Structure 1
Amino acid sequence: MSTPMSADVVVVGAGLAGLAAARDLSDGGADVLVVEARPRVGGRVEQVRQPDGRLVQLGGEVIGNSHTAYQQLVAELGLSLVPSYVAEPGELTYALHEAVYVGSSPPWFSAADHDSMARIEERFAGLAATVDPDDPWRHPDAAALDHTSVRQWLVAEQATPPVLRALEVAQLGLSAGSLERTSLLALLRKCATTESHGLYSYAEWENLRVAEGSATVALRMAEELGDRVRCSAPARAIKASAGGCSVQLDSGELLHCAAVVSAVPAGPFRDIETSGVSDARLESLHRQRHALAAKFVAAYPRPFWRDRGQSGLSESEGILGSSWPQGEAVLSTLVPPERLAAYVSTDPRFRRTEALAELARWFGPEAREPVATYERLWGTDPWTQGYITQWRPGDVLAVGPLHGTHEPPLYVCGSDQWVAGYMEGAVRTGRAAARAALQHG
């Protein structure tokens, strides 16, 4: 009979969060073992290489100025940051039901609409400045702000109908849930992390990318950890105890350790039987949710959209909620939660045809002739069960101040454990979990 494997710390999940935690734990002298359900590392960052040498990103791609933990990690790994699609020539495309518009701001706006948008942006930034992103629960109006949807607030602020429509199209493009299904407090908390405190700006949130490919960040960390990363090893149970912890794998194998770091998304974590932590902790973790979204990517021989004065960046009311150029002649798109059912309800061949038809409506007939297409159904993938964190009205208070904290010997990290989520949230919380575990002993 074999002896159960042991380590100082078992990290569950080899996405950015788990790998960042494991790397720092290992550097701190801990014996670390990472177990990953998939046959690969990276989680929701992933890339493939085209025959012509181009890297195509199938997961997270871009970051912004306030994503400092991610930027620091990139530098440590010897990788480089370059301007993202925001440096692309051409203008934004608005694909509305009745027409396709091209312009730097909504071309259908009247002077009154532009005034309304400016006033909304000023009011929002002022309100965001009153929210502490690390402790929104102490805001004097936390309950009212959390139970108010962003759309309700916009209506109360007398945003004009065209402004409401433009902001909803932009929100759907981010694929984190519509304005009516987004907590005002959650959005204020997110935007309070930026210097401007303003509504989502591509130039502020998405202006940088890793030149060597975003998935290379995960691959480099996995290379450093070597055989301390085990793929195709789903975790089914976690037992936490000051006297010793264990992680049971799907195979039945039992791993013994002094501490566990859970670095899986909120949905898959609910599928892991977890004991030894408080009911309040589990309730907080189980109340978190991810937006059920998908990604569709099309690689082309050339960036033909530039011929029409378009940058490749778009916001849409169609099944595809947005698009952007991720690299030379490669378009990424997102399917928002409100459109996912319509997208996945047919055969993959027809999904591809329908997606390319939408792109052709926006950018011209050449969009129907890619050299390759890819899709990632994050909303239905059992190892992700969603895209970025979604905060519906009431969610910030329901999850509560345990969000982003730990209950040793169980430490929790991941994009959903930081205020604004995404790749920065994964790296930031992964490294924070490692610090906490090393300090605790």
Structure 2
Amino acid sequence: MSTHDVIVVGAGLAGLSAARDLVAAGADVLVLEARARAGGRVEQTSTEDGRVVQLGGEVVGASHTSYRSLVDELGLTLGPSFTDIPGESTWLLADGRHLGDDMPWLSSADRSLYDAIERRFSTLASSVDPDDPWAHPEAVALDRLTVADWLRSEGATPQVVRAMELRAMGLADASVERRSLLADLRKEATAGALGFYDYDAWESMKVLEGSATVALRMAEGLGHRIRYSSPVASIDVASGGAGQGGVKVTLQSGERCRGGDVICALPAGPLRDLRISGVSAEYLASVQRREHAPTAKLVTVYESSFWEGNGQNGTGYFERTLLGGTWVQNTGILSALVPVDRLGPYRALPAAAREEVLLAELGAAYGPEGARPTSTFVRDWHSDIWTQGYITAWRPGELTAVGPLHGTHEPPLWVVGSDQWVCGYMEGAVRTGRAAARELIAR
């Protein structure tokens, strides 16, 4: 049985960033990764002409300070994402296709109402402490209220609610009819309470070398400390006790390792699959109640960004389709997601037919060329056993049910990862991983 100062379970961005900082501080670290590769929900490949293709997480924004700092330390380069591409957005709605960045299908009265309600949302968001939303005097009531019900209570018309739903589907977020208002307020408070969803704050940048390069570069630096194809079955804190070098980690192969501390950096679903003993029932219940929204990702590669010739910028919002919308990943490359609310009909299709249906939707949005990419990639992250999801999702009542233990630790067990932050994203992985490492180093 090997013994280490710290065992890190999971070689995604959270686990790698924690391990990197701990190793730099002189700790003996072992990283156990179930997959045969590093990166978790970030993964990439390349086209024959050298364009990098992202199959998982891609973009960050101005509010993602921890991720941007790590990128700088690794000597990588941040550049603009899709948000500054000229042209008009595409709205593929029930009544046809509309082009325009400012929801051109909305009447002027509905647009004015949308803007007014957004200002009220920003004011309410500024009253929420993102680090302690449970302390808000109306926390329980705000958490039980759906975003859609709050919109209607503020006088939103069906078209305004529809606009919010379209934006939610474009992000592959949960429906506004099934999403906690408090969770949305907390999320936007983190970014400065700028509105419903400010793309500059959340998605205006990308790593030019590829987002998965962040993980790959950290993994390269950790070298032999990472053991791949080593899924973990259980973590037993009670076997030795805190601070005694006795936390036991058992792999699915039956092999055992021992560490002074264990950092668990798994997504919410795989984390629930672990057998964890020796921590308080309250902490374990909070950790295991976390949810995230599953999705499937489609990436299509074309010889060029042909849509620009049609005045389109590649950003799309789709209403009655399987895809929630599109954005430009790279020159001649579109990304798209199947939101959680549309996964049922997506999964009902025979696997061999899914790609054809998705490409037909791109054809409806961007013309016949959209349905004829030179290469197509589909990643069913929802059914990947080591992922089981995408971004964080909060149903009404869940944020207060999970409670203030969310995002905390019970040493010698440290739980990190994007799901332990406000709303997921790569920022959450890096932020929580490095924060746990700092605490461990300080001890």
TM-score w.r.t. the length of structure 1 is 0.98
Residue 323 (structure 2) pairs with residue 320 (structure 1): yes
Q: Percent identity?
A: 55
> Cα 1:397–1:196, aligned 2, differ >3 Å: closer, same or farther?
closer
The equivalent residue for 1:397 is: 400
Superposed CA RMSD:
0.9
Q: How far apart, in 2, do the equivalents of 1:209 and 1:131 lie? A: 29
Q: 2:17 aligns to what?
A: 20
Q: For residue 260 of structure 1, what is the aligned residue in structure 2?
A: 262
Q: State the distance in 1 between where 2:188 and 2:216 align.
A: 30
Displacement after TM superposition at 1:346 (Å): 2.4
Residue 440 of structure 2, aligned match among 429, 437, 441? 437
> 193-202 vs 176-185, which deviates more?
193-202
Q: Which residue of 2 aligns with 1:274?
A: 276
Q: What 5-or-longer segments of structure 2 have no aligned partner?
A: none
Q: What is aligned with 1:213?
A: 210
| Structure 2 CA distance for aligned equivalents of residues 9 and 203 of structure 1 | 37
Instruction: Confirm or deny: 8 A CA contact 2:125 2:193 kept in the other structure.
Output: no
2:103 counterpart of 1:106: yes
Other structure's SS at 2:313 match:
strand
CA distance in 1, matches of 2:152, 2:93: 21
Which residue does 1:71 correspond to in 2? 68
Output the amino acid matched with 1:84: S
Partner of 2:235, secondary structure, is strand
State the shift of 1:46 in Å.
0.3
1:153 corresponds in structure 2 to 150
Shift of 1:98: 2.0
From 337, 347, 351, the counterpart of 2:350: 347
Is the Cα–Cα contact under 8 Å of residues 15 and 263 in structure 1 kept in the other structure?
yes
1:54 maps onto 2:57 in alignment: no
Q: Report the equivalent of 1:423.
A: 426
Confirm whether residue 118 of structure 1 aligns to residue 118 of structure 2. Answer: no
Counterpart of 1:192 in 2: which secondary structure?
helix
Q: Does the Cα contact within 8 Å between 2:126 and 2:192 map onto a contact in 1? A: no
Which structure 2 residues correspond to residues 9-408 of structure 1 after superposition, within 5 A?
A: 9-240=6-237, 241-242=241-242, 243=244, 244-317=246-319, 318-408=321-411
Q: Structure 1 residue 196: deviation in Å?
A: 4.2
Q: Give the 3-state SS of the residue equivalent to 2:303 in structure 1.
A: coil
Question: Separation in 2 of the partners of 1:176 and 1:249?
Answer: 33
Deviations along 1:405-430, whole A, 9 cap, x unmatched? 11000001000111132100000000
Structure 2: which amino acid aligns with 1:401? Answer: P
In the alignment, the residues of structure 1 paired with residue 227 and residue 431 of structure 2 have an alpha-carbon distance, to the nearest angstrom, of 23
Q: Deviations over 1:210-258 (max 9, x none)?
A: 0100000000000000010111100000011213101111111101111
Q: Is the 8 A contact 2:90 2:316 kept in 1?
A: yes
- How far residue 176 of structure 1 moved from its aligned partner, in angstroms, is 2.1
Distance (whole Å) between structure 1 residues aligned to residue 116 and residue 406 of structure 2: 32
Q: What is the CA–CA distance in structure 1 between the aligned matches of 2:102 and 2:159, rounded to whole Å? A: 12
Tell me, yes or no, if the aligned pair for 1:411 and 1:437 is still in contact at 8 Å: no
Q: Give the match's secondary structure for 1:281.
A: helix
Indicate conservation of the 8 Å contact 1:298/1:332, yes or no: yes
Whole-Å Cα distance in 2 between the matches of residues 347 and 437 of structure 1? 48
Q: For residue 382 of structure 2, give the secondary structure of its aligned residue in structure 1.
A: coil
Aligned residue type for 2:426 = M
Distance 1:423 1:67 in 2: 8
Partners of 2:361 and 2:371 within 8 A in 1: no
SS of 1:384's partner is coil
Kindly provide the CA deviation profile for residues 260-303 of structure 1, in whole angstroms up to 9, marking residues without a partner as x: 00000111011110011110011001111010211111111111
Q: Give, in whole Å, the separation in 2 of the partners of 1:192 and 1:21.
A: 26
Name segments (4+ residues, structure 1) moved above 6 Å.
Answer: none
In 1, Cα distance between the equivalents of 2:173 and 2:398? 14
Name the amino acid aligned to 1:379.
H
Q: Residue 203 of structure 1: CA displacement?
A: 2.7
Equivalent pair of 2:294/2:381 in contact (CA under 8 Å): yes
What TM-score comes out, normalization by structure 2 length?
0.97
Deviation digits for residues 51-88 of structure 1 (CA, Å, limit 9, x no counterpart): 11111000000001010000000000000100001121
C-alpha distance after superposition, 1:162-181 (max 9, x if no partner): 11111101011111200011
Equivalent-residue separation in structure 2 for 1:276 and 1:195 (angstroms): 38
Q: Whole-Å Cα distance in 1 between the matches of residues 332 and 130 of structure 2?
A: 37
Q: Matched residues in 2 for 1:396 and 1:363: separation?
A: 39
- Offset at residue 201 of structure 1 (A): 2.1
* Paired residue total: 437
Is the CA contact 1:25–1:32 (under 8 Å) kept in the aligned structure 2? Answer: yes
